[in-house]
Amino acid sequence: MMKPSPGYRSLLIFNCVGENFSIGQAAEAIGLSQPAISLTIKKLEALIGRKLLRRGTKGSEATPDGALLLRRTARMLHQVELGISQILNLEPASRVVRAACRRLTDTQIRTHIAILKSASASEAATSLGVSQAAIHRAGQAIEHAVGIPLYRRTGSRLVVNSAGVQLGRRLQLALNEISQALDELASSPEQLKGRVRVGVLPLSPQHFLADILSRVAQLYPYAIITVQEDNYLNLQTDLRSGQIDVIFGALRTPRVGDDLSEVDLFSDPYEIVVRNHHPLAGRESVNSSDLLKYKWVVPPQNTPRHQISLSLFQSFKKQPPQLIETNSLAMIIALLQKGDFIAILSRTQVFQSGFTKDLIALNFQLSNAGRVIGLISRKDWLPTELQNLFIKCIENSALSLK
């Protein structure tokens, strides 16, 4: 059974003690009594199951486990400060921002995230197991805490506005830091635990990634690995809010924003592909007239392969007789196997996907057919040891494909 997560207020208090090396100074800074601070720390230690502070020459010093939690707690608070400072247009270190951070409660934070993720106050209430009235009260309380409206109210509906979305993303990242901390505290050198959440772009080299996942699962049996396939924009949104750790797949042009970083893994250029028994299979060369005689399977708009297909047909100055549009690799392969279709796939999808006997690449030079497979992560991401090992496993395997 999963342990309950530490509360936001108790982590604020713990962080204050850690920063000041003193329960007394923390009590003065927060406005609580020393016994109340001590009791909060004891409850936090009991919840986590680790000793976090000890008496030292400087006062209250963090144990190794306490130092780990302090690092993550500081990152949690930084995300909250960034969120509030951005919506108030103030510096994160300003007194107004820090005061707003101290006013927030666990209920307010979790309610705001639930509203952000839900289509209605009713759905948010169901997800948290509370009444709609409680949702509305908590929504009003967090608006009062930060000092600006976060929602649009239309009748009984409660919809997050742009400031609420911005704050909600930062609050999700803040809670993610504590989840990371709990994973790290639950691990040991002999038994790594935790989560790796991978977002996979459509038509990525699935067999390459499956080999990595299989290896990691075998090496680290206590690891929880989740794989989520979605389009580029949705995965970027999930990455920016801490719902996934990394994105794997074909990197785009233009490259990602300043808050994300990319790592090139290997080149995986596009090829024009048909089944082995296609009339064009085995020819020494093919031309545009040959390619225009057959039906094509093409990807949907706003994908790299769509742009390549579009440029190709524009260079032909003519469209093929019929186009079937799909972003499903399984459907593309099935159509190629069933009939005399033509498609654009990457080299790994042809030669490393188990379909080598069924498919063949035509001898036709595609323009702008370069494709780089890589990883995308947040620049401010601090991976756990397990997540670091997963990334290194991918990078080492990619070296053999360069």
Tell me what pLDDT residue 391 has. 97
- Taking residues 302-317, what's their average pLDDT? 86
Tell me what pLDDT residue 288 has. 93
Q: What is the distance between the alpha carbons of residues 82 and 68, in angstroms, rounded to a whole number?
A: 21
pLDDT tens-digit readout, 70-119: 999 999 999 999 999 999 999 999 999 999 999 999 999 999 999 999 98
Q: Which CATH architecture has domain 8-169?
A: Orthogonal Bundle (1.10)
Confidence of residue 194 (pLDDT cuts 50, 70, 90): very high
Give me the amino acid identity at 214.
S
Q: Which residue pairs from 16-24 have beta carbons closer than 8 angstroms and sit at least 24 positions apart in sequence?
A: 17/41, 17/53, 17/60, 18/53, 18/60, 18/62, 18/66, 18/70, 18/73, 20/59, 21/56, 21/58, 21/59, 21/60, 21/61, 22/59, 22/60, 23/59, 23/60
The domains spanning 8-169 and 270-369 adopt the same CATH topology: no
Confidence of residue 3 (pLDDT cuts 50, 70, 90): low
Residue pair 194/186 in contact by the 8 Å Cβ criterion: yes
Confidence of residue 1 (pLDDT cuts 50, 70, 90): very low
Confidence of residue 381 (pLDDT cuts 50, 70, 90): very high
Least confident of 51-55, 69-73, 252-256, 319-323: 252-256
- Over 80: is that where the pLDDT of 37 sits? yes
CATH entry, 192-267+373-399, from 3.90.1280.20, 3.40.190.10, 3.30.1540.10, 3.40.50.720: 3.40.190.10
Confidence of residue 354 (pLDDT cuts 50, 70, 90): low
pLDDT tens-digit readout, 269-298: 999 999 999 999 989 889 999 999 999 999
Candidate ranges 119-128, 166-175, 189-198; pick with highest mean pLDDT: 166-175
Is pTM beyond 0.85? Reply is yes
**Residue whose entry in the numeric block shows the structure tokens 């994300």:** 260
DSSP annotation of 230 reads -
Least confident of 37-41, 108-112, 200-204, 376-380: 200-204
C-alpha torsion sign, points 301, 307, 308, 309: positive
- Over 80: is that where the pLDDT of 396 sits? yes
C-alpha torsion sign, points 28, 33, 34, 39: negative
**Residue 242 CA, distance from chain mean position:** 5
Residue range 270-369 forms a domain whose CATH class is alpha beta
H helices present in 147-226, as ranges: 162-186, 206-219
- Over 60: is that where the pLDDT of 61 sits? yes
Q: Which two tokens stand for residue 45?
A: 């230690």
DSSP secondary structure string, 279-316?
A: TTTT-S---HHHHTTS-EEEPPSSSHHHHHHHHHHHHH
Tell me what pLDDT residue 272 has. 94
Per-domain boundaries in the chain: 8-169, 192-267+373-399, 270-369
- Taking residues 48-59, what's their average pLDDT? 86
pLDDT tens-digit readout, 218-264: 999 999 999 999 999 999 999 999 999 999 999 987 777 789 999 99
Mean pLDDT of the chain: 91
